[in-house]
Chains A and B, each alone.
Chain A
Amino acid sequence: MATVVDSSNPKSNFPIQYRELNYLNCSKGWKSWFFTLDHKRIGIMYLIGVTTSFFLGGLFAMLLRTELLSPSRILMGADSYNQMFTLHGAIMTFLVIIPGVPAAIGNIILPIMLGAKDVAFPRMNLGSFYLWMFGAFFFLAAIVLGGLDTGWTFYTPYSITTSTAVITALMGVFILGFSSIFTGLNFIVTIHTMRPPGMTWFKMPLFLWALYATALIQILATPVLGITGLLLIVERAFHIGIFDPALGGDPVLFQHFFWFYSHPAVYVMILPAMGVVSEVIAVHSRKHIFGYRFIAYSSIAIAAFGFLVWGHHMFVSGQSKVVAVVFSAITFSVSIPSAIKVFNWLTTMYKGSIHFTTAMCYGLSFIFIFTIGGLTGLFLATLATDVHLHDTYFVVAHFHYVMMGSSLVGLFAAVHHWWPKISGRMFNEYWGRIACLGVFMGFNLTFFPQFLLGTRGMPRRYYTYLPEFQNLHILSTMGAYLLGISSTLMVATLIYSIYHGKKAPANPWGGASLEWQCSSPPPGNNFDHPPLAGDPYVMESVVYNEEIGGYVPAECQGDNTGSVTASGDKEV
């Protein structure tokens, strides 16, 4: 039998580190996965789905960048290029980033952080996952049935006239929207009604605040996307003249509807990642988070402001000047809560004892990249500069800095931070950090040149360009390859750890929130007794223990008798 530190052993004061029976092996067979109601298993299925989609979208990206190595045709012509960037964008947005942190990581971590046995509506949770699968299936069907070349934005009137599979793709978007709504609904209700004794709103870990703010946006904005998609489907199928100018409809109205969802949606992507970073920075700096309330309120502020700025995508679409000025001003103000977060993270690290673990490296990358991404957003929010920069590579670079460089890197940070909890295994820190370095360098190499391209006038969504842009394009493509290789390395490191990694202790990094109090991986129902929650950021409440290779509650340390054996790393 494994040599396990077991708190059920009366001689041991340590919390249980590892159990023979956990949520991964407590039942077997495909049915026990596909019909499971366990939030952790559902989260794992999301994680697998998201990763698969990420590599599919990434493959498209590699092909796009390869085409752009030279202004002449290399792999594909203009039409295929249009389809390729559309599918890349749609898959990455709707299948990867939006469900990435909330649905995959949030599902696994949120109930454990709350000390709860499950989310409020486990069956609805499984339903959300199947809706996600269904939506993904429609996307695949769209690829097979003639592709899609409207851009992920589906602007009318082109989306009404193009011969590609717009309706199928929109069905996918509609279904994915409902998946996202139900996840958000589940999270809000769970946070409201299932907090453990002692956890007041301001004792919640900031990741939960972030998920809460995200969920608010999900349930308030996504229905509008749903109805917009539905109307566009009906427009294409029956010609109802709502968005079609030929029948008296208004294509700009579509843009309003679309951005009313899609701007808040960018905060659905970034807020959870910000929550992850709040956890990661505090835990790996071994210091109480600085400005807890500011970070918590700024999440809510971002969610609220996020609803009032959609017009900044339409500065050149013919809205009135007054409206444009108002939207510009509100857009400026939305960067204030974002900056508040950045300052608080930096201050948290100040005089902390920073451990450059892989998760922390991703967290630091996030701060660096998000700062650039957010600041360039201000260039775009300025009316005069946006007239020049709109629809150029500057916009492409901006949103990749915030979506890829921040949201996805935030997801990577989350995966590494909680990997020991999720899989029960420690990954190889060395290779993890190499991969992180590769992602960071590859990312900047890919997208920084695109800022330069954009300011010099390179328009987005073109498969060819003027010869003077070639050097920067080549740089960008090289970066993309590096990025592709590094993210593959990252996934390989993690997968390798499942088979050959050390067994993880309950609390490898020294976090003080509840998810670190149950064993790694957690048992099926997470906690035997509802745990008592305290301040989630008092890092002094846990101390490192050599024998276990992880942290244990401070009050357990010292008075322990010799009954403890090393944590279960006997296989290594």
Chain B
Amino acid sequence: MNTAATTTTDEHADSHDHEHHDPRLAHHFDSHQQQFDTGKLGIWLFLVTEVLFFSGLFGFYAVYRSLHPEVFLYASQFLDTVLGAANTVVLLFSSLTMAWGVRCAQLGQTRGLLVCLVTTLACAAIFLGVKSFEYTEKAHHGLLWAGMYQSPEHHEADAAAAPAAEHGETAEHAHTAAADHGDESLFEKTKHTLSYMTTVLWVVIVLAGIAFGVFIKKPGKMTLATVAGCVLISAFGMMLGTYASIGYHHFGHAEKPTDEEIQMAETVPAEYAKQKEKVPEPALAGTFFSVYFCMTGLHAIHIIGGMIAISWLIVRTVHGAFTTYYFGAVDFVGLYWHLVDLIWIYLFPLLYLIN
């Protein structure tokens, strides 16, 4: 209706320069340059709001870490540095492919752009796969946010099945934990979560694969086929990430598992079980995991948002929307993606590398 209004009024006032009917140029801009600059400023401002959005969490982190440094020292030992580092590498690589994609778009290399975007999408999915493994593993050990947190020391008391009468306090805690009964059921549930997840992923892969196969043949169904392809890549990437982490995890436990060790490993995080001299658990240990889940969770949501945006770019690329003078969207999503990476670059040392 807007364009209708434009043309009618234009006819009214005796017609003048209205020659640009370039569908890539919105009606209210004078030139492609103006359109691009506008978008660029817009995305930068949006990134500013994103930084401020996260700043609340970083502020919270700063306050609690300065008030309770012992909590962070104690609890960060339960995070798996190797998985965190692996994810960092994956994200850094995805930033590279994204930047490369922008370059391809500027040069008008549609195939190159497509390859880069697909790689970026896959990397994002791998990241999520690893992350979901980490979450499940944390839940498995009861290392959840403050309201759900269960001290590893309770597990230990359970696992060793010791009366633990020496320190009455622990015994009492263990008792309540066992009585509350989150323990066994929580353990069982989380143990199965991963297999549920992989099953669901397999189903998604198969369905998306079929859809892709069906639509790709039909003319005019290009968009649907591409969307199915994106889903396929995402599910596949997540699968890869999850299996890689599981494999790594088993490898860590695999040397010579005695029954005792298996029992230990199933209840106490490996890192904790291996320790000779245990750091005493501070009172608010769960708060660390509140911070951990809030920050990484919000970050993961942003990763998912980015994956949607990248898929949208893939669809448009397939349709040949981008040219050497119209590649703004790729550039802007790229900037967003770099910011999401950057936030992870901060999260990784702040959460995983304490000590």
Contacts and interface: CB of A to CB of B under 8 A. Distances in A.
Interface of A: 8, 19, 21, 23, 26-27, 32, 35-38, 116-118, 120-122, 181, 185-186, 188-189, 192-194, 219-224, 226-228, 230-231, 234, 238-242, 247-250, 253, 257, 523-525, 528-530
A248 B146 contact: yes
Given A220-B48, A247-B146, A193 B38 contact: yes
Contacts of A21: 5, 8-9, 12
A189 B48 CA distance: 13
B53 A223 contact: yes
Nearest to B9: A523
Contact of B9 (A242, A253, A257, A525): A525
Given A23-B5, A117-B28, A189-B42, A226 B286 contact: no
B206 interface: no
Complex A-B, nearest 3 residue pairs according to Cβ-Cβ distance, in ascending order: A524-B5, A239-B147, A241-B146
A27 B145 contact: no
Contacts of A238: 145, 147-148
A194 B42 CA distance: 13
A227 B54 contact: yes
Contacts, number: 153
B38 A185 contact: no
A193 B34 contact: yes
10 contacts: A8-B13, A188-B41, A192-B41, A194-B34, A219-B45, A220-B48, A223-B56, A241-B290, A242-B60, A528-B10
Contacts of A120: 38, 42
B42 A524 contact: no
Contacts of A38: 1-2, 5
A241 B287 contact: yes
Given A189-B38, A253-B60, A528-B10, 15 more contacts: A8-B14, A117-B28, A188-B45, A219-B49, A219-B52, A228-B56, A238-B148, A239-B148, A240-B294, A241-B286, A248-B284, A249-B287, A524-B5, A524-B8, A528-B9
Contact of B63 (A221, A231, A253): A253
Contact of A26 (B1, B26, B28, B41): B1
Contact of B46 (A8, A185, A249): A185
B286 A8 contact: no
A257 B147 CA distance: 22
A170 to B, nearest CB: 14
B152 to A, nearest CB: 18
A240 B26 CA distance: 46
A8 B12 contact: yes
A341 to B, nearest CB: 26
B57 to A, nearest CB: 6
Contacts of A27: 1, 4-5
A527 B287 CA distance: 58
B93 interface: no
A161 to B, nearest CB: 14
A383 B246 CA distance: 59
Contacts of B37: 193
Interface string B13-34: 1101000000000111010001
B283 interface: yes
B5 A525 contact: yes
Interface of B: 1-2, 4-6, 8-10, 12-14, 16, 26-28, 30, 34, 37-38, 41-42, 45-46, 48-50, 52-57, 59-60, 63, 145-148, 283-284, 286-287, 290, 293-294, 298
A188 B148 CA distance: 44
Contact of A240 (B34, B147, B283): B147
B221 to A, nearest CB: 26
Nearest to B52: A223
Contacts of B52: 219-221, 223-224
Given A8-B13, A240-B293, A32 B146 contact: no
Contacts of A228: 56
Contacts of A257: 56, 59
A118 B38 CA distance: 13
Given A19-B12, A36-B1, A525-B5, A116 B56 contact: no
A524 B284 CA distance: 61
Contacts of B13: 8, 528
Contacts of A122: 2, 26, 28
A530 B30 CA distance: 10
A234 B292 CA distance: 13
A103 B147 CA distance: 40
Contact of B2 (A181, A222, A524): A524
A221 B27 CA distance: 32
Contacts of B14: 8
Given A8-B13, A23-B5, A27-B5, A242 B48 contact: no
A452 to B, nearest CB: 39
Contacts of A185: 42, 45-46, 49
A226 B4 CA distance: 38
Given A188-B45, A193-B37, A528-B10, A36 B146 contact: no
Given A253-B63, A528-B9, A193 B41 contact: yes
A524 B286 contact: no
A241 B147 contact: yes
A240 B8 CA distance: 58
B321 to A, nearest CB: 16
A219 B48 contact: yes
Nearest to B1: A27
Nearest to B14: A8
Contacts of A240: 145-147, 290, 293-294
B9 A247 contact: no
B38 A241 contact: no
Contacts of A192: 41
A59 B235 CA distance: 52
Contacts of B30: 530
Contacts of A186: 42
Residue from B2, B54, B294, B298 having most chain A Cβ neighbours under 10 A = B2
B21 to A, nearest CB: 15
Contacts of A193: 34, 37-38, 41
Contacts of A222: 49
Contact of A234 (B5, B41, B49, B294): B294
A186 B42 CA distance: 7
B208 to A, nearest CB: 29
A121 B8 CA distance: 23
Contacts of B2: 36-38, 122, 524-525
A239 B54 contact: no
Contacts of B148: 238-239
Contacts of B59: 257
Contact of B286 (A117, A121, A227, A247): A247
A35 B28 CA distance: 17
Contacts of A23: 5
Contact of A242 (B34, B54, B290): B290
Contacts of B27: 117-118, 525
A23 B1 CA distance: 10
Contacts of B6: 524-525
Residue from A226, A227, A253, A529 having most chain B Cβ neighbours under 10 A = A227
B47 to A, nearest CB: 10
B9 to A, nearest CB: 4
Residue from A185, A219, A248 having most chain B Cβ neighbours under 10 A = A248
A189 B5 contact: no
